[in-house]
Each structure stands twice: as structure tokens, then as C-alpha cells.
Structure 1
């Protein structure tokens, strides 16, 4: 054996190791002899017998290709011929040894003689079944996401129309519609955290009541998870009850209280009871608003049950009875109960925030939201800095006097953390206005209030005013 033979042998061993590590099998098709040689690695991938097999033409190999992929394979052969003898295909194969269907990627290069006639094709085979399955799953998820987004948009549109029909002023519409959107957002946040397998009733109660009136609300009952449809319906129902309690009922005074209790039923469903006490004397409303209609009809039907409201003089009592179809199995991933940072579910009787003279930085990548924030904060008397839509824009604005800031957590894929760190180092307070549902609190672990999207801009203004008061006081 010569030194050249040793070198060639070592190079061959390196190539063998590389093919093995990459999970590739190799083949050689000798066109002049009509012989297709399958390596041991290719045999393991395809189920074909290792060694030579007769192959006079490309059609000899077609029986090993899934019938549904044959037309595309043949078209690929024709289209790739002018490319200089380099071929690449992806197709399904029914393995001859065990009948399994696998996806293969086949790539080869053709060598020709001096007259241009094909001599042989050398190439590799790769099992890409896992990648194809991931692509299929991704397409399925995208289709499901598209379906859910359209359903949400349709629901939002219906809420807007129905709310507008039953309100007499723009201010009332914005308040009612914004609260209902927030209730939907809270339910969807919980469902997303549980991978849309279900949402716990106690988490829905905490999201709606947790920040309303500390010490005046309570809820109890067994662990129960609702389907996505039922969770959204219950979130809207609880919102309507909470909004009414804040405006007219038990939560409109300091002495009032709301208790929420639910029990399992023998048929697999549940019954939830909302009880108000200690508030003003109650009488039935003179007219039925959309909130009552939504609660009694929509929520009841979506829960596959019924809803009833009793306007007792001592306080409103509402009962929601749900069928077994509304209850979901316990999901594998159960999110933590939401942490209430700011009372943002329904509007209170407090007056508008006063930000007169305050210099407030807005960092938000959604242009419409930034415009809304700018208008709302300006109406409250603030001098708006920005808005900044990109991380670089926000960092460039930090060299001027800033009293407070409103930060979106994510700016076109970039974390707002550098801006938050710079503001924290200067002692400038800020609030996060974000669509991310982080149960642990503020993004990045900062000690800062969090307002979840969708929000009413008056909530943001109130949060900024509270920050400034705490900072200066």
C-alpha cells in the first residue's frame, strides 16, 4: 500500500463518518451498466435491499415512489435536466420492508463522457419525515390560528355593534366596549397559557375581580376547567356583573361585598352563584341593556345551560348553570393565577387622570396604539415624547428630560429591556402596556405596573398619574 492509498483510505473514512453523523445514505447509479447500487445506510433509511439492483432507466425506480407523488417527480426530472446534471427531489416512499410511508430527500449529480452521454449518478438520500410532519403541523396550527382570529374578530365586531346600539354617548360606548374587550383578552390570555386546553374558573374570577375592590370580593369552589368557548362566555358574564356592581351595586360603596361560589353538578356541569351584599338597595332596572341580554342569553347558551338574575333589595344574586359540555379536562399545563397590578377591568367613579406638565415617553411599535396613547395622554395634559416605534428610536430619545414612560414589552421582535434599564438607572418610573401574558409579573422582572392589552387609554393615563404621584410623594 502506497502513501497515496493511505491518504485516500483516510479520506474515505472521514466521508463515511460524515455521512453517518448527518444521517445520510448514499447510492450510485451506473447508467452504462444499468445498475443501481444501494448502500447499507440507504437501505436502513428506505427499506430497500442493500447492494446492486438492475435499473435501465429512471422509470425502473418509480415503483418505489408513492403514487400520489409520481407526477410531481416526473415533472421535476424534466425541469431539472437543463441544470447541468444536478438533481434534487422530495417525495414519499412506501417502504417495501414494513409498509411505512416516509418522506425522502434525494440529491444527485450526473457525470457524462466526452460525448455528453450520461455515465453515472452519485447521490445521497435523507429521511425528512420529521421535518415534513413539523411543516404539516405548522400549517395545521396556522389554519387553526386563522380560524380563531376570524372568530375573535367576528365576536369583537358583534360586540361593537350590539354595544353601540344600546349606548347613547361615545364615552359610554368606549367604556362598555373597552371593558368587554378586556374581559375577552383576560380569558384568551389564560387559554393561551394552557395551550388552549381550558381555563380554570378561579383564574377567570381572579382576572375579573382581583383588582376591582381589594377586600370586597371573594370566590371559592372546586377546581374546574372550562372549554375555550365557555371560558370566553363566562369571562364576559363576570365582566357584566362586575361592571354593574361597580356602577350601581355592592362595589359602588365601601361597605359592599361580592361573593362568587361554584359547585359541581351530578350531570358533569356546574352551577355558579354571584351574590352581592352590603350595597345600596336594589330594584329591577327600568329597561334591559345589552349587558343583561348578554348575560342571560349569550352566556347561558354558550355554557350549554341557563342564567338567571334576581334583583333582591339586599343585592343582586345571579345564577349561571352550565352543562357538562362546557367543562374541559384538566390541561397538562396549568398557568398560575393572574397577578392583579392595576384595577383595569371596569371603570370606576374616579375622575380623569391629571398629567398636566408631565413629560411622558411612549414606546409602542403598533402605530394605531401609539396614536391612541399619544392622544389620550395629551388630553390628560401630558407632554408626549415620541412615540418611538423602534428600539433605536426609543434609545435616542433618552437624552432629554423624561418624567415617566409607557413601554411596550416587544418592539418588532426586540425586547424593550435596554430602554427599561436606562430609565430605571435614572430613576424614571414606567408602566408596561403589553399583550404578553406573563403570570410572574412585569416583563424582565422589573418592579413596574403592567396593563394588559387590549386596554382603555384612560387606564394607562391613570397608571402614569399614580406612578408620578408615588414618585414625587
Structure 2
């Protein structure tokens, strides 16, 4: 390649060239390097290399000088990355140099020839990834700690395993519902009407209504409100207005002058209300946790005509509305928690389990077996699942994603054989089942008895 062609290639690659003649103590900066670094092009006195060293960020200079010294002593080439302060405009950029050392007849370094690359964008992206990973780590630990506390507090206030499973599963699903909305909005927050719709939209069609101004809540407030609405809804179904076909629940929220909001839950038309004889964890959630998490307060009035709850939130609970807010998800179907897998009769049914999370797969295997099913699998990988398809199968439970690979090939094969299946997945697609299949969907986190019930329903239809 001729010199002109080499220059074009270097320019196209976004590189700049330099030459440090140690014997003559000169440094040559190319036009390409000048454009990258802001150092004037041409030949200058090298001053033993210090002419360029003075532009290196003070925090990186000593490290680079050590790397260069080692490079000069070695045979061949060396590379280094450091921040440089451009002398023309004062901007700090990240550069990467690749240098080759040539030696004289006595073996002493005579010349250094190298290339310079601007890696500022790459470093910025790396910093963003590190920040996101740290934030993800923080959120995961917070979520696990919250789930642990939720389990412990629920267990302390329940008298049976069945009651614990029902209460804990419902609260976990409320957290999952809020998390789904937050994920859709990239964890900037969630719209209050979306939260209400997700919790109550399918709870009692025709018996619930809500209205209020458009508000966008912080992630912390969204989680707290979702849990509060779940507790109120669960109580209304068990003991309150929604335990009767004639009862109604109305939710209204309004802005407060301090920048926060107030939400009022009102039940009417249900059985006469009697204040609870003992405080359960649900009451603690409403009275203490919800109020504090909303930077406000919560009050529940057990009026004879119907429960009324008033939730007040401070300005800290309200987030700036993003330019685009995800559309409201379809109302989440209420998944009745069956407190025993014996409630679903799967005797003799051959059920394929495809799930990449080992603990979940084992829990599914146990639950379906207790319901009488003959479990095929579990299959943890796509290839495992495909290899099991030649066996007699009556129904299947499929995770949508298997270690980053879609379960679609398995679903397609089952559809061709007219074998019904249910998706048990953590993917929150509002448009129905993953891949557009006509199949029931149970969102994680779930209770295995829900899956058993769904499979039993498939086999009856």
C-alpha cells in the first residue's frame, strides 16, 4: 500500500500517527493526531518525551510513565490508555496509544512509532455499564431484602402454611405487577392509573371504578401503592364490598397543594363492616409501611357501611412525567391462589415441564406430581425440550425464554401436535401470550398450584 492509501486507511479508522525520534529528541505529530488530541501538528522538540507528557491528566501521568518505561525496555510494542487534556479547548478525552520501539545497533531505544485513537465514547459507555450494573446490583439486593422481610412478617402473622402461601403469594404478585410497569418505563416510575388498573382491573368487573388526574410516581412510591391496593383489594374480596355481588369500590385521587397527592378508597354496598379484632401484617403495611414509603400517611376507617382508606403522599412520591409513557397494560387477570395442589386433579396426565431455573423447575415437578401428573422432564435447555417431544405428552408448562433462547420451536411443535400448553413466564407482554400463541399465561412470581390449576383447565377444555 502506498503512503496515500495508508493515510486514507488511518483516517477512516479514526487513528492518528506520531513518531518520537529519541536519538534526535524530536516528536512529530501528524494532522490526524492533531485532530484527535488538539496538539499542533508538525515537528517539535521532544524534551525527553515531556513535550507530550504535560498534556496527560495528572491522575494518569505516573501510571503512563511507568508503562512507557517498561515498554521502552521491552522488545516490540506496548499499549496504554489514559486521559488527555486537549491544549486547544481544555476538554478531557480518553486516548489509547499503540507504540512500536526500534533500537540502534547497541540495542538502545532509537525511535518510537505509534498510533493514537480517541476512545472517549467507549470509556463513557463502559462507565454507563458499570453504573447500570451497580444500580442493578443495588436494586436486586433491595428487592431480595424486601421479599425476605415480606416473607418473615407474613409468616409471623399467619397461623397456617396454607394461609401464609395465599397471603405471601398475593403480596409477591403485587410487587411483580409494579415491577412490570416500572420495567416498561425503564424504572423512571409508573403512572398511577396504570398501577390501579393492574391491581383492580379484573378484580370484580363492573364493581370497581377509579378516576383522578394524570400522575407519575417514583419507583419507591409505585411499589408502596401497589402493595397497598393489593391489601385493600384482598380484604374487600374476602370480607368487604367485593365479597358481595352488590358491593362497589370507588377510588379517587387528587393533587395536593404541596405537590403530592391523596388517594381515597371507598367501599359501599357490601356486608356490614366490623373492625378487625387483631392487627395483621396487612394493617401494618397500610398504617406504617405505605405511609412512610409515600412520605405521607395512611388511615383506614372501618365504617359500618363500608371501609374507607385515605392514602396521602408527599411531593417526593411524584416523579416528572417522561416524554413518552408506556401504554396501560391489559388488566391483569386475578389468579386465584389454590391453597393445595390437591385442588387440581391431574391424575395420569403426562405433563412436560420446560423451565431453565432449576429451583422453579423442581417446585413445578413437585407440585404437578402431587396433583397426580406424570412429569416429563424437566427440560432446562431448548435441545433437551426438543428431544422430549417424541414422547406421549398431554400438556406442557413452558417458560418463554431458556437461557436467552426462545421456547418458540417447542411451542410450535406442540401446536402442530395439538398438545395444549401454558406459559409460566416472567416476561410482561401486555399483548397476550409470548409469540402470539393462543395459550394461557401465568406471570412470575406464581404459586405452583396456579400452574396445576391452569393445566387441569387445559385438559378439561
Q: Is the shorter-chain TM-score for this pair beyond 0.5, marking a shared fold?
A: yes
Aligned equivalent of 1:377: 368
- Which residue of the other structure, out of 88, 93, 97, is the alignment partner of 1:106? 97
- Aligned: 1:315 with 2:306: yes
Question: How many angstroms apart in 1 are the aligned matches of 2:291 and 2:30?
Answer: 65
Give a deviation string over 1:344-397, Cα, whole Å, max 9, x none. 276699982222222211111111111111111112222211111111111111
- Aligned: 1:386 with 2:377: yes
- Which residue of the other structure, out of 437, 441, 445, is the alignment partner of 1:450? 441
Give the C-alpha shift of residue 88 in structure 1: 0.5
When the two chains are superposed, the root-mean-square deviation of aligned CA atoms in Å is 2.0
Aligned equivalent of 1:216: 207
User: Is contact 2:57-2:84 (8 Å) kept?
Assistant: yes
TM-score, normalising length: structure 1 = 0.93
Between 1:324-333 and 1:31-40, the stretch displaced more is: 324-333
Aligned equivalent of 1:71: 62
Task: Please state whether the residue corresponding to 1:399 is helix, strand or coil.
Answer: coil
Give a deviation string over 1:50-106, Cα, whole Å, max 9, x none. 001111533443212111001211232244456522011100001111110000001
Give the C-alpha shift of residue 431 in structure 1: 1.7
Question: How many angstroms apart in 2 are the aligned matches of 1:388 and 1:172?
Answer: 32
- Which residue of the other structure, out of 414, 418, 428, is the alignment partner of 2:419? 428
User: Is contact 2:72-2:101 (8 Å) kept?
Assistant: no
Give the C-alpha shift of residue 333 in structure 1: 3.7
Task: Please state whether the residue corresponding to 1:69 is helix, strand or coil.
Answer: helix
User: Is contact 1:257-1:279 (8 Å) kept?
Assistant: yes
- Aligned: 1:62 with 2:53: yes
Q: Which runs of 5+ in 1 are unaligned?
A: 1-7
Question: How many angstroms apart in 2 are the aligned matches of 1:311 and 1:339?
Answer: 32
- Aligned: 1:359 with 2:326: no
User: Is contact 1:211-1:344 (8 Å) kept?
Assistant: no
Give the C-alpha shift of residue 117 in structure 1: 2.8
Give a deviation string over 1:429-460, Cα, whole Å, max 9, x none. 22222222223332222222222211111222
Aligned equivalent of 1:5: none
Between 1:386-395 and 1:334-343, the stretch displaced more is: 334-343
Question: How many angstroms apart in 2 are the aligned matches of 1:411 and 1:350?
Answer: 26
Aligned equivalent of 1:167: 158
Give the C-alpha shift of residue 16 in structure 1: 1.6
Aligned equivalent of 1:200: 191
Alignment of 1:64-463 (within 5 A): 64-81=55-72, 83-340=74-331, 342-344=333-335, 352-463=343-454
Give a deviation string over 1:235-274, Cα, whole Å, max 9, x none. 1101111111222222223333322221222222222121
The verdict on how the C-alpha distance between 1:324 and 1:350 changes in structure 2, with shifts beyond 3 A counting, is farther
Question: How many angstroms apart in 2 are the aligned matches of 1:374 and 1:273?
Answer: 43
User: Is contact 1:247-1:348 (8 Å) kept?
Assistant: no
Give a deviation string over 1:158-209, Cα, whole Å, max 9, x none. 1111111101111111111111111111111111111111111111112111
- Aligned: 1:45 with 2:61: no
Task: Please state whether the residue corresponding to 1:87 is helix, strand or coil.
Answer: strand
User: Is contact 2:337-2:447 (8 Å) kept?
Assistant: no
Alignment of 1:458-469 (within 5 A): 458-469=449-460
Aligned equivalent of 1:4: none
User: Is contact 1:208-1:345 (8 Å) kept?
Assistant: no
Give the C-alpha shift of residue 421 in structure 1: 1.4
Question: How many angstroms apart in 2 are the aligned matches of 1:142 and 1:28?
Answer: 40
Give the C-alpha shift of residue 398 in structure 1: 0.9
Give a deviation string over 1:93-135, Cα, whole Å, max 9, x none. 0111111000000111122234323232221101000111111
Question: How many angstroms apart in 1 are the aligned matches of 2:259 and 2:304?
Answer: 33
User: Is contact 2:301-2:307 (8 Å) kept?
Assistant: yes
The verdict on how the C-alpha distance between 1:340 and 1:387 changes in structure 2, with shifts beyond 3 A counting, is farther
User: Is contact 1:32-1:120 (8 Å) kept?
Assistant: yes
The verdict on how the C-alpha distance between 1:369 and 1:81 changes in structure 2, with shifts beyond 3 A counting, is farther
Question: How many angstroms apart in 2 are the aligned matches of 1:349 and 1:239?
Answer: 22
- Count of matched residue pairs: 461
Q: Which runs of 5+ in 2 are unaligned?
A: none
User: Is contact 1:395-1:419 (8 Å) kept?
Assistant: yes
Give the C-alpha shift of residue 312 in structure 1: 2.4
Give the C-alpha shift of residue 342 in structure 1: 3.7
